[in-house]
Structure 1
């Protein structure tokens, strides 16, 4: 079985990382593949976490500036709340694309029993977009476009695949595709030649770039080299699920201080001052606390 698009030169796998569990937030566990010591930045991507969290743990009130966060739920549910009054819950298969821009303080906490699992991707913004007003794009699972052919199913989070295009607006041009390949299926997916791209395996095992390559299992990140697309095979007896993410490199300086990402140290210093003094976009932080924080006994 094969779904073939016009891929002339499959991108090779140039690096592979196993994302190992590490603590993060309040009692949460993340498997971080981008944003770790060996891979600080993969332009325009700042971080990729596969997170697992159960109540009463979570990610209490914390700030961001200068980039976007993309949260895609794989299991369970998470409630988001911010200092501008936005609140909502995303469940399995739902998406939240948040532009932090000039500043946001928010919390992300479990909203269901058991373990909540998802992916969170941080996408850098170019210098002219770093101080835009915060914005949200949220999509329920039923509204995310899907297509299937020859044993290949895709959910189009951002970008285009199998002739369908996501309505999500990406300030930094980005594709985010969730593929499931049945046993025996073969995929060719175009990726703009000038973009950086990677694969993160969620379930099963797959062969990427070359049919004789060694199979890759869950929790591995594959950085893809030059070419015009991805080629993948499922030679196993179980389904293979992975995300393919690509983006146009910004080619700008990156200075990061935790949840703040700017172009210069001076801008970082100003951001820290703005946050500490609740100014220049952080005004609402002075008196705001999320419901999750108000309910904790410190």
Structure 2
């Protein structure tokens, strides 16, 4: 099997895999199943990343009305479709390959429910916001699958959700500097992907089997999270007979204090206490929560 290599720049210090574990299914929302790899007991926080879920949900299960403050959620659909609705009047549906980058900021209440029959699958990543951005107004960036920048060359395909790869860049704006790449490697391909040296980075394998970090490493299969150590980039080999698909995510650490209470993420306990009061009293960003229900809840 002939190996091909593609790179914008050579990796001088490959990032090793310093930790690896399998994300096992757990219940979340109402009847939904997620494989949580960040935000669990073994890895509560990987600055600036709070949660990574690979979710699977079929109607009537889902994620009904719930609040957020202080961070961003990135929902990337793999199969089926999910409808999002919030108390500010925003409503939309994202299907396979589509992306929603939601900045919760000072407060949002929303629902995420299946929009089609069968099983809906996707990834949701929570990215922390710096103290100067935690109380900004909510906003959305929604990108259809056809509009996601994609490059394919020499047996390697990458969908560039955030950041840059193979000479192309995503139009997504990230307040917390972030790299989010969806790679598919054909059998025999070999990838070198630069990552800023000061950033934290991880890989989550979706399909297939690959060797990551070091050519002598044992193969990694689907549903495994790999934390990457220091270095200037990631090296990957697909020596199997089937395609390998994984996401590579990196981010600039915030280096700030973190206090989390469920869907609220702030810098101090006092800010969390204030957030709970704001939500309970429908003030300071949660005013529209007082008499709002999603259509999914109304129809129940």
TM-score of the two chains, using structure 2 as the length reference: 0.98
Among candidates 188, 205, 208, match of residue 204 of structure 1: 208
Among candidates 237, 254, 259, match of residue 255 of structure 1: 259
For residues 148-203 of structure 1, give each alpha carbon's deviation from its aligned partner in whole angstroms, at most 9, with x where no partner exists.
Answer: 11111000000000000001000000000000000000000000000000000000
Segments of 4+ moved more than 4 angstroms = none
Q: Which residue of 2 aligns with 1:3?
A: 6
Q: Is 1:23 the equivalent of 2:27?
A: yes
Q: What do you get for the CA RMSD once the two structures are aligned? A: 0.4
Among candidates 132, 136, 139, match of residue 140 of structure 2: 136
Q: Which residue of 2 aligns with 1:246?
A: 250
TM-score of the two chains, using structure 1 as the length reference: 0.99
Q: Is 1:75 the equivalent of 2:61?
A: no
Task: Map 1:1-298; keep pairs closer than 5 Å.
Answer: 1-4=4-7, 5-296=9-300
For residues 78-133 of structure 1, give each alpha carbon's deviation from its aligned partner in whole angstroms, at most 9, with x where no partner exists.
Answer: 00000000000000000000000000000000001100000000000000000000
1:6, distance to aligned residue in structure 2 (A): 2.3
Counterpart Cα distance in 1 of 2:158 and 2:262:
33
Across the two proteins, how many residue pairs are aligned to each other? 296
Counterpart Cα distance in 1 of 2:206 and 2:48:
22
| Unmatched segments (≥5 aa) in structure 2 | none
SS of the counterpart of 2:132? helix
